[in-house]
């Protein structure tokens, strides 16, 4: 069960070169670069690379032929889509010159203005959840029902959520479940054009293609209804970063060799969820990191900087989730925390919750649940060692049990002795030697 959202729009194919928002010479140079890098190509192969309608591409090819920059080397069909085009000597010189400005060879970019407009049309703010959807989405977790009363409004706000509490209680899992529960798909451009510069947005690490053929029957879109192929249809993005995050990674990454930009994490997360895991353990002060988000969180606009020094606005359309094991008071002062709209203290499980987690983990592993196991674990380890129960403990203890049972060639049936050995191999027990 996923979120409720409006009927998905599709980017309309451009009807003219003007509709692309790109100068004709930009498209010309892109075609020359494709032929220079990839060699002779048919008209259809060029279309498949630059993702523009064939009439646009063919008009540029005719112009290049008249300027003696390309020539026809053969044909694989009866139409010009099957003609094989290659560069002339002059065309190779022009293609080489174009590559010195930018090494980008791929789908024609979408101008920044069009990207901003399209992002707003499919904004995450259009996605809504109900209590029923939240409870269903988190059915795999054992949570205090009160948590649902905060998570739901936090998702619908599409702004920010702060998860804090001890390690191993499911903060990261909660974050990932929220992202999965939102579901759906959206269209993003492969690349964005900003003042003649190319910014690569599509990242297969964070963006997973969701072809139209893979839609459910109720969402089927006919193959005959085209869309602007400069866009790719992806699952709602989930971008996760942690202790390795630095401030410079939140701005454009410029490659001096290729003369292209890579989009920062928050731009790749537009329309989806951005998770900052282990908040407070970054190599930069938490205050600096939170300061970086103040304007985007309040205005829903971020500002990026070109290597030339020019700044430009981009949409900040993501649900930002900060997750930490540290005490909030040790991270930033109260005034900064007010900038984060929702806060959830993820506590360790109570006894009955722990039992349910242990039962579910046992069932998943094909181990018969044993009622006597809880008193043994609590008395022998939690109480004696002063350890606080964590939601991850049942899973880890049972995995240790399976490892030991496999080694001893024993059945996957809990016994006091094997459970004790599993716990002793998992918990740090300095009061006794390993069995």
What residue spans define the domains of the chain?
23-106, 111-345, 351-426
Residue 290 has pLDDT above 90, yes or no: no
pLDDT for position 245: 86
Overall average pLDDT of the 185-196 stretch: 95
Residue 34 above 50 pLDDT? yes
Q: Report the percent of the chain where pLDDT is more than 90.
A: 58
Cβ(36)–Cβ(95) below 8 Å:
yes
Top-confidence residue, 295 or 364: 364
Once rounded to an integer, what is the mean pLDDT over residues 264-286?
Answer: 89
The pLDDT score that the predictor gives to residue 215 is 45
pLDDT at residue 202 tops 90: yes
Check: CB of residue 261 under 8 Å from CB of residue 253: yes
Would you say residue 207 has pLDDT above 50? yes
CATH code of the region 111-345: 3.40.50.300
Region 21-39: what's the mean pLDDT?
96
pLDDT for residue 212 is more than 80: no
Greater pLDDT, 224 or 302: 302
Residue 319: name the closest of 267, 274, 268, 265 by CA. 274
Mean pLDDT over residues 135-144, rounded? 87
- Residue 430 has a pLDDT of 60
Q: Please give the C-alpha separations between residue 432 and each of 324, 350, 435, in angstroms, as whole numbers.
A: 32, 27, 9
pLDDT confidence of 327, banded at 50, 70, 90?
confident
Whether the per-residue pLDDT at 219 is higher than 80: the answer is no
pTM: 0.84
| pLDDT of 2 higher than 80 | no
Tell me the pLDDT tens digit for each residue of 149-160: 889 999 898 888
Q: Which span out of 101-105, 239-243, 288-292, 325-329 was modeled with the highest average pLDDT?
A: 101-105
Q: What pLDDT sits at residue 187?
A: 96
pLDDT at position 66, please? 96
**Unique residue bearing structure tokens 């220079």:** 36
pLDDT at 120: 93
pLDDT at 262: 96
The whole-number pLDDT of residue 393 equals: 95
Average pLDDT over residues 336-358: 88
How confident is the model over 12-22, as pLDDT tens digits?
999 888 999 99
pLDDT confidence tier of residue 172, bands split at 50, 70 and 90: confident
Report pLDDT for 392: 93
pLDDT digits (tens, 9 = 90+) for 374-393: 999 999 999 988 889 999 99
Which phi-psi region, left, alpha or beta, contains residue 247 (left: φ > 0; alpha: ψ -120 to 50)?
alpha
At 178 the pLDDT is: 86
Domains 23-106 and 111-345 equal at CATH topology level: no
Domain 23-106 annotated CATH 3.40.50.970: no
Specify the higher pLDDT residue, 117 or 218.
117
């Amino acid at each position: 069960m996923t979120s409720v959202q409006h009927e998905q729009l599709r980017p309309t194919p451009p009807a003219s070169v003007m509709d692309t928002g790109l100068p004709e010479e930009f498209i010309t140079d892109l075609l020359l670069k494709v032929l220079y890098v990839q060699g002779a190509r048919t008209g259809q192969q060029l279309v498949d690379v630059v993702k523009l309608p064939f009439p646009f591409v063919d008009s540029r090819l005719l112009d290049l032929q008249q300027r003696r920059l390309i020539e026809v080397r053969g044909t694989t069909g009866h139409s010009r889509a099957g003609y094989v085009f290659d560069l002339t000597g002059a065309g190779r010189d022009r293609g080489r010159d174009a590559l010195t400005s930018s090494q980008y060879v791929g789908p024609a970019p979408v101008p920044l203005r069009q990207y901003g407009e399209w992002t707003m049309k499919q904004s995450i703010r259009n996605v809504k959840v109900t209590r029923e959807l939240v409870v269903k989405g988190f059915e795999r977790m054992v949570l205090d029902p009160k948590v649902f009363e905060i998570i739901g409004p936090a998702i619908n706000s599409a702004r920010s959520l702060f998860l804090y509490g001890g390690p191993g209680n499911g903060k990261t899992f909660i974050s990932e479940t929220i992202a999965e529960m939102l579901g759906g798909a959206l269209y993003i451009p492969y690349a964005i054009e900003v003042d003649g510069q190319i910014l690569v947005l599509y990242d297969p690490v964070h963006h997973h293609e969701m072809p139209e053929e893979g839609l459910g029957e109720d969402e089927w879109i006919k193959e005959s209804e085209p869309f602007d192929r400069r866009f790719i249809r992806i699952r709602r993005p989930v971008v996760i970063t942690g202790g390795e995050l630095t401030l410079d990674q939140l701005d454009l990454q410029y490659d001096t060799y290729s003369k292209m930009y890579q989009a920062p994490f928050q731009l790749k997360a537009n329309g989806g969820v951005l998770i900052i895991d282990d908040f407070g353990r970054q190599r930069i002060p938490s205050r600096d990191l939170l300061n970086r988000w103040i304007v985007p969180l309040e205005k829903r606009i971020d500002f990026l900087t070109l290597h030339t020094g020019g700044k430009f606005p981009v949409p900040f359309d993501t649900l930002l989730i900060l997750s930490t094991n540290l005490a909030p008071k040790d991270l930033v002062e109260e005034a900064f925390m007010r900038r984060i709209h929702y806060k959830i203290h993820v506590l360790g499980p109570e006894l009955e919750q722990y039992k349910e987690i242990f039962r579910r983990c046992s069932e998943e592993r094909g181990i018969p649940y044993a009622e006597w196991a809880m008193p043994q674990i609590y008395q022998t380890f939690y109480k004696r060692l002063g350890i606080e129960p964590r939601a991850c403990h049942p899973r880890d203890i049972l995995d240790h049990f399976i490892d030991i049972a496999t080694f001893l060639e024993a059945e996957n049936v809990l016994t006091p002795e094997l459970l004790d050995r599993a716990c002793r191999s998992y918990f740090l027990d300095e009061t006794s030697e390993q069995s």
